[in-house]
Structure 1
Amino acid sequence: MSDLASPAGLRRPARALVSVSDKTGLVDFAKGLAAFGVELISTGGTHKALAAAGLQVKEVADVTGFPEMLDGRVKTLHPKVHGGLLAVRGKPDHEAALRAQGIAPIDLLVVNLYPFEATVEAGADFDECVENIDIGGPAMIRSAAKNHESVAVLTGASDYALVLAELEEHGGATTLALRRRLAQKAFARTAAYDSAISHWLAGEIGVAAPDYRALGGQLVEALRYGENPHQIAAFYASGPRRFGVSTARQVQGKQLSYNNLGDTDAAFELVAEFDPARTAAVAIIKHANPCGVAEGSDLADAYELALRCDPVSAFGGIIALNRKLDAKAAAAIVKIFTEVIIAPDADEDAVAIVAAKKNLRLLLTGGLPDPRAAGWRHTPVAGGFLAQSRDNAVVDEMDLRVVTKRAPSEAEIRDMKFAFRVAKHVKSNAIVYAKGSATVGIGAGQMSRVDSCRIAALKAREAATTAGLAESLAKGSVVASDAFFPFADGLLAAAEAGATAVIQPGGSLRDDEVIKAADEAGLAMVFTGVRHFRH
């Protein structure tokens, strides 16, 4: 018989130490423990809450014989606490040491940590954040988790019902299988907690590449599978709160897949580039690349313009909005098959319209992410991961330098800025044709930049044909490139497609050659000095 399933794996907790910051569900859980004859020990505010509920509970200071001190910084860091948690039950020398020192075993620990992450998110100053770094809590959690052979450790209110159910099933005992599961969660919780602290402190002191970088996250949802059905996947929230898929409330629709979540995140990050106070904007994403983006007088207008860019690819896509979804926009969107709609909010009429498509997921995030916000992105590589700061450069803050004989018109500049915003979110090599604050052709992810130019031009011609127009949508457009043109061929392909102006970072050894070609073609061109590679 496996030790996990054997009677020897059952342990009846006689004493529990309870010390929590978040007291959600605490009293009911403590009453449940008391009903099984578990003696309760507690600290500070937790003790007051339990005593006020009429429970018999000892102060930790009465157990240790040592008062809380240093504003509560020292209260559980004591041998009578850690000895009670760490002693190996049934080991003669450990049990003799407990008897000699008058230490009683602690069989169950309930600790959730000071709210450090929430304190940082609330914008507290440095000293307040430091005061919300828990020391005693993680120490106790790790002691209990190490000794999970005998001790059950609970690190959140979500553990309460699980433990009470097991006590009920096993006559007041826990199984080794559960204690191991709780121990794994406990070590992960303290690791994520330390990760948040180390990331915050590195930012506060300006260390861009610390010697150690820890990653931590909290499970949002276990997913059916990853990119493919044979891959395991899960969704975790981590780091400072950022409006998007991690804050979204799913109003309706099927469970989101791994690919849905990645595409939806890409769509919402793109549409957040457009200030909702200035304009309505819609982005349509397929396989993490935009197939149509537009601004409009309202969301419905912007959606129709975005859809026109590539209506074939938009089928089964992700729709992201920068404003509250209204009935007019919802009615337009549901005309074709769509996987996900993500928006900051939605009105009741819009929700009712979307409800008619029961499999269509509607996500409401509560706000837009700030494209200027600092942050970090991590990419796994063999044996480790790459870490880089988020691309938070925005075109409105760039110094656009005219490098051609002809300067762009005001209308061209507006479209240039629009196209460069979009190019930031297109996989490299990225080429975006835009006209009237709407994409008309997008070339993404090609090994050759000139191929991206040609693909984008082809998309513009196909879109025109679908719309019943004789002339390519690229005629009279501007073109944005995420990186410099290494040769003039890509720029000439754009001119041939009908583009009249170009926005690009510049910086090629052949910039003079490219500028000369632009002048000969009558193009206006500006350099941003900022590259937007996205791999």
Structure 2
Amino acid sequence: MTHLVPVGRALLSVSDKTGLLDLARALAGMGVELISTGGTAQALRTAGLAVRDVAEVTGFPEMMDGRVKTLHPNVHGGLLALRDDDEHLVAMAVHGIEPIDLLVVNLYPFEAAVARGASYDDCVENIDIGGPAMIRAAAKNHRFVNVVTDIADYAPLLAEMKAHKGATSHAFRQRLALTAYSRTAAYDAAVSGWMAEALAEPAPRRRAFAGQLASPLRYGENPHQRAAFYTDGTWRPGVATARQWQGKELSYNNINDTDAAFELVAEFDPLQGPACVIVKHANPCGVARGATLAEAYARAFDCDRTSAFGGIIALNQPLDAATAEKIVEIFTEVVIAPGADEGARAVFATKKNLRLLTTMGLPNPVARGLAFKQVAGGFLVQDRDAGHVTAADLRVVTKRAPTDAELADLMFAWTVAKHVKSNAIVYVKDGATVGVGAGQMSRVDSTRIAARKAEDMAMALGLPAPLTQGAVVASDAFFPFADGLITAAEAGATAIIQPGGSVRDDEVIAAADAAGLAMVFTGQRHFRH
């Protein structure tokens, strides 16, 4: 259905005035009458454009600090009236209501107020009322009315009107209405989410999430799945806010894995030295510190060279040329770092398919936030896992306490285990992972797999023994039986870090003592499903 409708009258009321004057001049040039409010009207007049105040249309002045200006039948009647309904037309004539064919509104900057840490009262003042009411009215009546809520739609609107001699098509108005309802839904979600946080309400009766399209994706996890990438407006440094310097567009799996890698590497303070994380299928296959980034990468790579092929690399410091030279020796999908110098970018420029992302910072690993997961008929919501323990939080439960070197590796291993899919087992030696077991149904299987991978790497590297000899082990949850711990001891582990809390803790502690292991409990677990 084409259903062309000419645009004769427009109401413009915008908080963000970017592009406003060019739009208004173009509309006026097509003979469109302009109606406006407050600061928008003033900006138009200053630019020499003829504009009617909304107060003239309503017969009421703006009042209550601008809280009341468009909430009036002359505005909403002009937006909601059906142009092909005789009763509506009679009502308009009787009450002097003029049709409004185009509404251009962007809302008070509520999200920006929250983002800058504004006070509770300031945030409340930035909740728009009249704007969403008009947007919903115009969107409902999209058979006749155009509603523009996004500056990105100014140019398409003008192109549509030029193509149809000042009119717009029904299909175009439908797309504008979709964008409009999505905008008000996102706005309300931002307000309700902020209020739940402000009131420390962990489980509000209704929960809404919203996002803004960052990019459509070629497909999802598999080619038969449609997908798109959305940002949530929180401005957390990471894949959503990164600059991409080169390479193909990111895929669904690239984005997921890159996020996993960068969130883990952010756990390692760059002021305490370089760190590198290599991720494959959302699990780390190598994590290490080093004296330089190049050394950290090489040590992470040596944990599991096979899995590292085609993986994602995250760094906690800006990428340099020396590290870039090592990285390009094998195929890598994505590299993400806080920055990258010219030398590094020049090295990567020879690998056109390698994506390089820079973020200008690291996400705060202990910042609060929400995580959610869809299930059939609903979704689960929880705080993101910002759990953190220090050495002072650990409880030694064995006869032997860990040495200082073991303790440092235990803390490193615990940090990595937090980001490994459960059941998670992580062997660490001298600030580098040497075996990772992830996602198994049995914890003892994860322990065995991690040890076996270390054996394979020892053979590949020509080492006399697996690096699990003399390593420490982290388990993301308690050992329900002693068998997992015994398997770790057989692989050469000397110390264990785990949450504790099993009904068989005494049995597990006894097994550790019998093997001469040091073991500490954190009192905190890190399931990651």
TM-score range, shorter chain: over 0.9
Q: What's the secondary structure of 1:395's corresponding residue?
A: coil
> What do residues 357-410 of structure 1 show as CA deviations (whole Å, max 9, x unaligned)?
001001111211111011111101001111111000123377100000000011
Q: Which residue of 2 aligns with 1:380?
A: 374
Matched, 1:102 2:96: yes
Q: Does 1:474 align with 2:468?
A: yes
Match of 2:516 among 517, 522, 535: 522
TM-score of the pair, normalised by structure 1: 0.98
- The offset of 1:17, in angstroms, is 0.4
Match of 1:101, as an amino acid? H
Shift of 1:460: 1.1
| Structure 2 gap ranges (5+) | none
Amino acid at match of 2:61: P
Q: Following the alignment from structure 1 to structure 2, what is the Cα–Cα distance between the partners of residues 29 and 353?
A: 44
The alignment's C-alpha RMSD in Å is: 0.9
Structure 1 residue 147 corresponds to structure 2 residue 128: no
Q: Partner residue of 2:485?
A: 491
| Partner residue of 2:267 out of 265, 268, 273 | 273
Paired AA for residue 258 in structure 1: Y
Deviation at 1:239, TM superposition (A): 4.8
1:403-427, Cα deviation, whole Å (9 max, x unpaired): 0000001111110000000000000
Question: Are residue 236 (structure 1) and residue 265 (structure 2) matched?
Answer: no
Code of the residue aligned with 1:511 in structure 2: it is D
Question: Are 1:398 and 1:528, in contact at CA under 8 Å, matched by a contact in 2?
Answer: no
CA distance in 2, matches of 1:45, 1:247: 32
**Deviations 1:113-142 (Å, cap 9, x if unpaired)?**
111111111111111111111111111100
| 2:169 counterpart residue number | 175
Q: TM-score, normalised by structure 2?
A: 0.99
Aligned residue for 1:49, secondary structure, equals: helix
Which residues in structure 2 correspond to 1:251-400 (within 5 Å)?
251-396=245-390, 399-400=393-394
Identity within the alignment, % = 67
Q: Give 1:226's match in structure 2, choosing from 217, 220, 223.
A: 220
- Structure 2 counterpart SS, 1:72: coil
Please name the residue that 1:159 is paired with. Answer: 153
Q: Which runs of 4+ in 1 moved over 6 A?
A: none
The gaps in structure 1 that reach 5 residues or longer are none
| Conservation of the 8 A alpha-carbon contact between 1:247 and 1:366 | no
The yes-or-no answer on 1:404 pairing with 2:432 is no
Q: Does 1:36 align with 2:36?
A: no
**1:207 and 2:237 correspond:** no
Match of 1:423?
417
Structure-2 change in CA distance of 1:398 and 1:388 (3 Å): farther
Aligned-partner residue type, residue 62 of structure 2 = E
User: Structure 1 CA distance, aligned partners of 2:389 and 2:450?
Assistant: 21
Q: Give the CA deviation at 1:156.
A: 1.1
Which of 29-38 and 308-317 deviates more?
Answer: 29-38
Equivalent residue for 1:83? Answer: 77
Q: C-alpha separation between the residues in 2 aligned to 1:397 and 1:480?
A: 14
Amino acid at match of 2:216: A
Q: Is the 8 A contact 1:196 1:239 kept in 2?
A: no
Distance 1:127 1:376 in 2: 24
Which piece of structure 1 moves more, 512-521 or 271-280?
271-280
Q: Once the two structures are superposed, what CA deviation does each residue of 1:326-381 show, in whole Å capped at 9, x if it has no partner? A: 11111111111000001111111111111110010011112111110111111010
Deviation by residue 1:289-325 (Cα, 9 ceiling, x = unmatched)? 0000011112111000100000110000000011111
Q: What's 1:115 paired with?
A: 109
The whole-number CA distance in structure 2 between the counterparts of 1:367 and 1:52 is: 41
Distance (whole Å) between structure 2 residues aligned to residue 277 and residue 54 of structure 1: 55
SS of corresponding position for 2:390: helix
One-letter amino acid matched to 1:220: A
Distance 2:113 2:278 in 1: 36
Taking the aligned partners of 1:442 and 1:122, their CA distance within structure 2 comes to 40
CA–CA separation in structure 2 for the residues paired with 1:388 and 1:375: 9
Question: Match of 2:396, as an amino acid?
Answer: V
For the pair 1:440 / 2:463, whether they are aligned, the reply is no
Q: Distance in 1 between the 2:391 and 2:339 partners?
A: 28
- Of 440, 447, 453 in structure 1, the residue corresponding to residue 447 of structure 2 is 453
